[in-house]
């Protein structure tokens, strides 16, 4: 089989990892990398044994596919140049900065009959892969994605930077549209929003609470799902999954605690987990998900199969993110009738400092 000729457009913090992995795949020829930072492009090219190109135009006739890992504001401009020439693209999340731009990328991929994959990498987290293999119909979901301030992705806020991961996961789990959005957030550093909480109500009755922060001291990436089938708790950092389901006896007969004597109630405490609520803990350590994502994209290019995360998926996640951001911008911190504290920059003035003694 001929090696697939690929290039990485943008080799900063994440793009350099794309280049490293692709350079090590036996069925791929990394023909080049490019970046607005010429020195960075040359450094990565030297490290990966490839060529640093000054312009993407130099790559049009040399590649079979590309990954686009430039800042979000440039996703549409760069990805569209390759798609319109019939070159498959894996573009990092979010797919673009506006739904109109996302729709245009989807259109170009469709018209030119080439794969467009969006880099929602958590779909390739082995713990999430293990979860979606199971027959679960979420009715309440709680997600938390917290991380420290890194100084990267300052062209966008925490919704498009971090929460977009969980938005995509929620849509893939529920397979339903969102009918109602309530959200609030803060711009801690005065620019884009840095902390956001959203409550989403889906057409199928599922409710989700989603929180994202990029000013947390301790990283946290968790998803918890309650469903008629049971409960699932997923940790994206440790790649672990806990599943809890009611026993057949509990499902069929239930527990009439009110009818139990004191001795039976006392014994029940030790029987809840194991006998009545069965638990399964899975440690899903099987490779890194960026490699899995890139291998999947390569397979899609070779076979013309539909990517796991399509352009339409990326567009839908972005559309919901825009609704959340609009709710953040219009949130009234003091309630109806008082317009003095509105949106991510409008938190009311503090009464004092929390370190003050009262």
Give residue 1's pLDDT band: very low, low, confident or very high (50, 70, 90).
low
Question: What is the distance between the alpha carbons of residues 77 and 285, in angstroms, rounded to a whole number?
Answer: 37
Express each pLDDT in 285-294 by its tens digit: 888 999 999 9
Of 242, 206, 204, 205, whose CA–CA distance to 223 is shortest? 242
Predicted local confidence at residue 285, as pLDDT: 87
Predicted local confidence at residue 77, as pLDDT: 98
Mean pLDDT for all residues in the chain: 93
Express each pLDDT in 239-277 by its tens digit: 999 999 988 777 777 777 777 778 777 777 777 777 778
Question: What value does the mean pLDDT take over residues 173-201?
Answer: 95
Per-position DSSP letters for 174-230, written without gaps between them: H-S-EEEEEEEEE-TTSSS--EEEEEEEETTS-EEEEEEESS-SS-EEEEEEEETTE
φ, ψ of residue 48 in degrees (nearest 5): -100, 5
Structure tokens at 93: 């999340």
Q: Which residue has the tokens 């640093």?
A: 52
Predicted local confidence at residue 143, as pLDDT: 98
Percent of the chain with pLDDT over 70: 99
Model confidence, pTM: 0.92
Express each pLDDT in 70-125 by its tens digit: 999 999 999 999 999 999 999 999 999 999 999 999 999 999 999 999 999 999 99
Give residue 358's pLDDT band: very low, low, confident or very high (50, 70, 90).
low
Helix, strand, or coil (residue 10): coil
The DSSP symbol for 332 reads: B
Q: Which residue has the tokens 């990485």?
A: 8
Question: What value does the mean pLDDT take over residues 51-68?
Answer: 97
Task: Please state whether 118 falls in left (phi above 0), alpha (psi between -120 and 50) or beta.
Answer: beta
Predicted local confidence at residue 328, as pLDDT: 96
φ, ψ of residue 231 in degrees (nearest 5): -125, 145
Report the helix count and the strand count for the chain, using DSSP H and E.
11, 14
Predicted local confidence at residue 96, as pLDDT: 97
- CB neighbourhood size of 334 (10 A): 12
Question: What is the distance between the alpha carbons of residues 138 and 287, in angstroms, rounded to a whole number?
Answer: 27
Of 144, 161, 145, whose CA–CA distance to 71 is shortest? 161
Express each pLDDT in 320-344 by its tens digit: 999 999 999 999 998 887 888 899 9
Task: Please state whether 330 falls in left (phi above 0), alpha (psi between -120 and 50) or beta.
Answer: alpha
Determine whether 155 is exposed, middle or buried from the number of CB atoms within 10 Å of its CB (0-12, 13-18, 19+): middle
Question: What value does the mean pLDDT take over residues 200-223?
Answer: 96
Q: Which residue has the tokens 């990954």?
A: 67
Burial code (b: 16+ CB inside 10 Å, e: under 16) for 259-284 equals eeeeeeeeeeeeeeeeeeeeeeeeeb
Question: H/E element holding 143?
Answer: strand 140-146
Of 139, 137, 120, whose CA–CA distance to 236 is shortest? 120
Give residue 167's pLDDT band: very low, low, confident or very high (50, 70, 90).
very high
**85 in Cβ contact with 67 (< 8 Å):** no
Question: What is the distance between the alpha carbons of residues 214 and 97, in angstroms, rounded to a whole number?
Answer: 19
Question: What value does the mean pLDDT take over residues 45-57?
Answer: 97
Per-position DSSP letters for 228-260, written without gaps between them: TTEEEEEETTTTEEEEEEE-HHHHHH---GGG-
Question: What value does the mean pLDDT take over residues 171-177?
Answer: 97
Give residue 224's pLDDT band: very low, low, confident or very high (50, 70, 90).
very high
């Amino acid at each position: 089989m001929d090696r697939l000729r690929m290039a990485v457009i943008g080799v900063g913090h994440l793009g350099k990892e794309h280049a490293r992995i692709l350079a090590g795949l036996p069925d791929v020829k990394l023909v080049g990398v490019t970046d607005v930072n010429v020195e960075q492009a040359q450094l990565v090219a030297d490290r990966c044994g490839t060529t640093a190109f000054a312009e993407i135009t130099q790559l049009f006739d040399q590649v079979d596919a590309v990954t686009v890992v430039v800042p979000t504001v440039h996703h549409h401009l760069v990805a569209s140049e390759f798609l319109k020439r019939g070159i498959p693209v894996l573009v990092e999340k979010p797919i673009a900065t506006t739904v109109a731009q996302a729709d245009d990328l989807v259109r170009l991929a469709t018209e030119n009959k080439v794969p467009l994959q969006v880099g929602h990498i958590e779909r390739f987290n082995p713990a999430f892969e293990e979860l979606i293999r199971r027959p679960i119909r979420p009715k309440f979901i709680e997600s938390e994605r917290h991380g420290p301030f890194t100084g990267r992705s300052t062209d966008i806020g925490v919704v498009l930077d971090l929460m977009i991961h969980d938005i995509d996961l929620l849509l893939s789990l529920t397979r339903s549209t969102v009918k109602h959005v309530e959200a609030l957030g803060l711009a801690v550093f005065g620019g884009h929003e840095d902390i956001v909480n959203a409550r989403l109500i889906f057409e199928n009755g599922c409710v989700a609470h989603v929180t994202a922060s990029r000013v947390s001291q301790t990283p946290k990436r968790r998803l918890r799902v309650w469903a008629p089938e049971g409960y699932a708790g997923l940790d994206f950092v440790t790649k672990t999954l806990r599943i809890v389901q009611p026993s057949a006896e509990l499902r069929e007969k239930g527990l009439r605690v009110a009818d139990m004597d004191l001795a039976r109630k006392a014994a029940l405490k030790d029987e809840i987990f194991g006998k009545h609520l069965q638990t399964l803990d899975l440690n899903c350590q099987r490779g890194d998900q960026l490699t899995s994502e890139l291998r999947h994209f390569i397979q899609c290019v070779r076979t013309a199969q539909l990517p796991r995360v399509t352009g339409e998926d990326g567009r839908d996640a972005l559309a919901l993110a825009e609704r959340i951001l609009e709710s953040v911008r219009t949130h009234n911190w003091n309630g109806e009738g008082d317009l003095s504290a509105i949106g991510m920059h409008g938190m009311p003035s503090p009464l004092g400092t929390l370190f003050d003694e009262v």
